[in-house]
Amino acid sequence: MSRVKEAFQDKKALIPFITGGYPSLEVTKKLLSVMQEAGADLIEIGIPFSDPAAEGVEIQEANERALAAGCTTDKLFDMVKESRKEVKVPVIYRTYFNPIYTYGKEKFMKRCVECGIDGVIVPDLPYEEKDEILPMCRQYGVDLISIVVPFSKERIFRTAEEAEGYIYCVSRPDLERKGEKIQTALAETAALVREAADIPCVADYDSLEPEQGRTLVKIFDGVAVHSAVMELISRYGEACVPHVSEYVRKIKEAVK
């Protein structure tokens, strides 16, 4: 069993996300430590990219600022490697495909192993394109984490059957707009995943309040906190560390 899957054993996992190098690599390094200490079971780090079109404008701004502050893929790898002296929880890279492709797929995987990256989430690599890196991920033992969305039964099955690490269930804003009960849709999605494979299923959790987390972990094996932590970092900048720590502790309490 991969280290990533192990992190879900006998508990609901909390997975905070931060953009690497935002507001600085030093702060990112501190955040890794304090988030682990506050109860994060896995941590996702975004490799800053010039055009993160799959994410909102807030995250794009964080990406731009990280790049402007001089963060590069190499510097981020170095920082993660350094932090691995203290950080023992699995660390996942969330990155667009171009930074991997341009870096060199094999070189990238080698660096993941060397620096202690356990898995990668590549939002612009859907099922149709995942063969770009899946064989190499398997060769180097880096989990390629997949994403599924509600109301795509066939795709959910196909994806889940070949999935590694955990599966990410993301909502569909257009459904929310139409007034669909998103909670029900996500529950159905998780049920389909479980039907297809024995793999932890994680939901996006974007609230600053713990209540939503309690509801979500009734359905899911864990929650990934994507924009909420980023919001705190944006609000407090260099001084964000204690605020993020407090928040992660509060959510962990709610979802464990």
Partner 1 sequence: MSEKNRKKKGRYGEYGGQYIPETLMCAVQELTDAYERYKNDPEFIQELTKLFRDYAGRPSMLYYAEKMTKDLGGAKIYLKREDLNHTGSHKINNVLGQVLLAKKMGKTRVIAETGAGQHGVATATAAALMGIECEIFMGKEDTNRQALNVYRMKLLGAKVHAVTSGTQTLKDAVNETMREWSRRMDDTLYVLGSVMGPHPFPMIVRDFQKIIGEEIRSQLMEREGKLPDAVVACVGGGSNAMGAFYDFIKDLEVRLIGCEAAGHGIDTDRHAATVAKGSTGVFHGMKSLFCQDEYGQIAPVYSISAGLDYPGIGPEHAQLAKEGRAQYVPVTDEEAVEAFEYLSRIEGIIPAIESAHAVAYAKKLAPAMKKDEIIVINLSGRGDKDVAAIARYRGVKIYE
Q: Which residues bind partner 1 (CB under 8 A)?
A: 49-51, 53-54, 56-57, 60-61, 64, 67, 72-74, 96-103, 123-129, 147-149, 151-152, 155, 170, 172-175, 177-178
Task: For residues 19 and 28, give the distance between their C-alpha atoms in angstroms, rounded to a whole number.
Answer: 8
Q: How is residue 34 written in tokens?
A: 């304090």
Least separation in angstroms between residue 131's CB and partner 1 is: 9
Nearer to partner 1, 116 or 123 (CB): 123
State the nearest-atom distance from the C-beta of 53 to partner 1, in Å: 4
* CA separation for the pair 211, 215 (Å, rounded): 7
Nearer to partner 1, 114 or 151 (CB): 151
Cβ nearer to partner 1, comparing 85 with 177: 177
Q: At a CB cut-off of 8 Å and minimum separation 6, what does 222 contact?
A: 8, 12, 13, 14, 15, 41, 42, 166, 200, 201, 202, 203, 255
Shortest gap between Cβ of 239 and partner 1 (angstroms)?
A: 26
Min dist. Cβ of residue 50 to partner 1 (A)? 4
Q: Look at residues 28, 23, 22, 3 and name the one whose alpha carbon lies nearest to residue 13.
A: 3
Nearer to partner 1, 176 or 209 (CB): 176
- Give the H/E segment covering residue 113: helix 105-115
Distance between CA atoms of residues 223 and 216, nearest Å:
7
Q: Which is nearer to partner 1, 77 or 247 (CB)?
A: 77
Comparison of 151 and 218: residue with beta carbon closer to partner 1: 151
The distance of closest approach from Cβ of residue 97 to partner 1 in the complex, given in angstroms and rounded to an integer, is: 5
**Upstream peptide bond of 23 is cis (omega within 30 degrees of 0):** yes
**In the structure encoding, which two tokens stand for residue 125, read together?**
């690599």
Q: How far is the CB of 256 from partner 1 (least distance, A)?
A: 28
